[in-house]
Structure 1
Amino acid sequence: MEYCAFLRGVNVKGTNMKMADVCRVFEDTGMDKVSSVLASGNIIFSSGDNTDNLKSILEKAMSSRFNYDASLFILSELQIAELIKNNPYEQSNDLHIYIFIGNRGVEEILLKEFQQSLKTELERGKIVKNAFYWQVPKGNTLDSTFGKVLGKKSLKDQFTSRNINTIEKILKKMS
Structure 2
Amino acid sequence: MNRYAALLRGIAPSNPNMSNEKLRGVFEMLGFEKVASVLASGNIVFHSTDTDVSDLEDRIQQALNAELGIAGGTIIRSYEELRALLDTDPFPGLTHGRGTYLVATFLKNRKKAAELPDQPDPLTRVVGFDKACSTFLAVVDNSEPGKTPDFMTWLDKTHGKDITTRTWLTVQRIVKKMDA
TM-score above 0.5? yes
Residue matched to 1:6: 7
Matched residue count: 169
State the secondary structure of the residue aligned to 2:114.
Answer: helix
Deviation at 1:140, TM superposition (A): 5.2
Q: 5 Å matches for 1:1-175? A: 1-11=2-12, 17-50=18-51, 51-90=53-92, 91-92=94-95, 93=97, 94-102=99-107, 103-106=109-112, 108-109=114-115, 111-112=116-117, 115-120=118-123, 123-125=124-126, 126-129=128-131, 130-139=134-143, 143-152=148-157, 155-175=159-179
State the secondary structure of the residue aligned to 1:168.
Answer: helix
In structure 1, runs of 5+ residues without a counterpart are none
Deviation at 1:47, TM superposition (A): 0.4
Query: Superposition RMSD on alpha carbons, in Å?
Result: 2.6
| Aligned counterparts of 2:65 and 2:173: Cα–Cα separation in 1 | 26
In structure 2, runs of 5+ residues without a counterpart are none
| Aligned counterparts of 1:138 and 1:86: Cα–Cα separation in 2 | 24
Q: Is the Cα–Cα contact under 8 Å of residues 99 and 163 in structure 1 kept in the other structure?
A: yes
**TM-score normalised over the length of structure 2:** 0.81
Query: 1:113-147 CA distances to partner (integer Å, 9 max, x unpaired)?
Result: xx435313xx3112233421111123359622223
Deviation at 1:161, TM superposition (A): 1.1
Q: What is the percentage of aligned positions where both structures have the same residue?
A: 29
Change in Cα spacing, 1:147 to 1:15, as seen in structure 2 (3 Å) is farther
Deviation at 1:86, TM superposition (A): 2.3
